[in-house]
Amino acid sequence: MNDSKELFFVDSQAMPPRPPEFWPALVVTGEQIEGEIARLSGKPIAEGDIRRAYVVHPDAVEPGLGLAPGIDVSVNVLLPGESTRPFRESASSVAFCIRGQGTCRVDARTMDFTTNDVWNVPSMGVFSYRNASTEPVVFLSYSNAPVLKKLGVHVFETAPEAPPRMQVVADAEHKEKMQRAKASATNAAIGSDGARVLGYEYLIDIDVVTSRPLAWPWKEVSQHLDAVEHLGGAAGKGYQGRHLVALYNPATERRMGTTPAFFASIAQFPPNRVDAPHRHSSAAINYIFAGDGRSTVEGRKFTWKAGDLMLSAPGWAVHNHAAGEHGCNILTVQDHPLQIAMESLIWQETLKGAIFKMGAEAGAQTNIADSIAAE
Ligand SMILES: [Fe+2]
């Protein structure tokens, strides 16, 4: 702490509530990303280091530079034969391979990946990457580190000496079955509406939900995309929902995440599909990996094509997306589960519809049953 700084008080009238502030939507072109891949590929690095560059929004401020306020996106390259030393961090991440073949090791699990595959790296998992192929491998990685950096609690270690994570998980599962100290702690009702008092032991020994590294290989995920593309007939006109599958990690339970902070989804828009304008307090970042299309965000129009990355929905900005004449495939990463955990995910599925608080009020419905029947 800087001792020359002094604590002060501010009257609430001098600090009125501020309306949501949007980082403007923007498109990072595939050409810009290719330029960065070339730069990363050509630079000298220390053995075991990673060729990684963050895509930073012009409105981002330290600490925690990102492409959205709570999401950083990095471009990662491993040349043939390269491998990284192990790393560990308190952020969790989800990654998407855009080219080549590589291997991600997290604790005791080794995941091979290739183009369009997705995988997650749990918080505090010891992870490393390897490229044993003869071509460069390139992947995007998205993490919640910006939030942790703003909170001043992001932990990142290089080459950590850690027990194998699977052992840690096994120990945790074993402890679950043991008599726990909290069984002897205070546990009593306060009033009749569910409020309770609980002893300290409840705070330091919460129930464990095992968090594993998982893979969503394209060759399996893609088998489910034709069905969602064809909902609602030609151009999806008869369907009120979105033509996508969410890549679900059961560790996120009802928060519908791929990581505890983000969901990743893969969309397959039918040709000329135009989505309804809507908004949500979660921010969304799209990576287009096939086809092209256009978006309108807060009244501004954008066009995009395969290889482009877009801050496509700043939190609470009204937006919609539309596919071009050949349709498109999009990876979307959105800080949805993080906001559900904070009871902060407000959602408006159509601009004429109600605003609801996701997970604490009834959610939105679509006409999917009729859309399937209409095929
Ligand atoms: Fe959206």
Q: Which amino acid does the sequence have at 205?
A: D
Distance CA 286, CA 291 (A): 13
Domains and CATH numbers, the chain: 26-153+215-373 (2.60.120.10), 165-203 (no CATH)
> pLDDT grade, residue 4 (50/70/90)?
confident
Please report the pLDDT score of residue 111 as a whole number.
Answer: 98
**Contact between residue 120 and residue 214 where contact means Cβ atoms under 8 Å apart:** yes
Cα(68) to centroid(ligand 1), Å: 14
Between residues 234 and 227, the one the model is more confident about: 227
Q: Tell me how far the alpha carbon of residue 335 lies from the centroid of ligand 1, in angstroms.
A: 11
Mean pLDDT over 294-307 rounds to 98
pLDDT digits (tens, 9 = 90+) for 27-51: 999 999 999 999 999 999 999 999 9
Q: State the DSSP code for 68.
A: B
End-to-end distance of the chain based on CA atoms, in angstroms?
64
Query: 98 alpha carbon to ligand 1 midpoint, in Å?
Result: 23
Q: Indicate the SS3 state at residue 139.
A: strand
The backbone torsions φ and ψ at residue 171, rounded to the nearest 5 degrees and listed phi first, read -60, -45
Structure-block tokens of residue 215: 């893979």
Residue 375 C-alpha to ligand 1 middle, in angstroms? 25
Q: Does residue 9 surpass a pLDDT of 70?
A: yes
| 3-state SS class at 368 | helix
Q: Average pLDDT, whole number, for the chain?
A: 94
| 84 Cα to the center of ligand 1, angstroms | 35
pLDDT band at 372 (very low <50, low <70, confident <90, very high): confident
Pairing type for strands 93-99 and 118-121 reads antiparallel
Measured between alpha carbons, how far is 120 from 331 in angstroms, rounded to an integer? 14
Global pTM reads 0.94
Residue 305, token pair as written in the block: 């094509």
Distance from the CA of 319 to the center of ligand 1, in angstroms?
A: 7
Task: Please give the distance, rounded to the nearest whole angstrom, from the Cα atom of residue 237 to the centre of ligand 1.
Answer: 18
pLDDT > 70: percent of the chain: 94
User: What are the structure tokens assigned to 365, written together?
Assistant: 């419905």
Q: How far is the CA of 278 from the centre of ligand 1 (A)?
A: 6
Residue 249, C-beta contacts closer than 8 angstroms, at least 6 positions apart: 120, 211, 212, 214, 257, 258, 259
Residue 222: helix, strand or coil by DSSP?
helix
Question: Sign of the CA dihedral 161, 166, 169, 173?
Answer: negative
Mean pLDDT is lowest, of 20-24, 116-120, 178-182, for 178-182
Which structure tokens are listed for 362? 């009834």
Please tell me what DSSP assigns to residue 71: B
Q: Tell me if 53 sits within 8 A of 41, measured CB to CB.
A: no
Ligand 1 center to residue 318 CA distance, Å?
8
pLDDT tens profile 159-192: 877 655 556 666 766 766 678 899 999 999 999 9
Amino acid at site 237: K
pLDDT, one tens digit per residue, over 211-221 is: 999 999 999 99
Specify the pLDDT at position 21: 85
Ligand 1 ion: nearby residues, β-carbon < 5 Å: 313
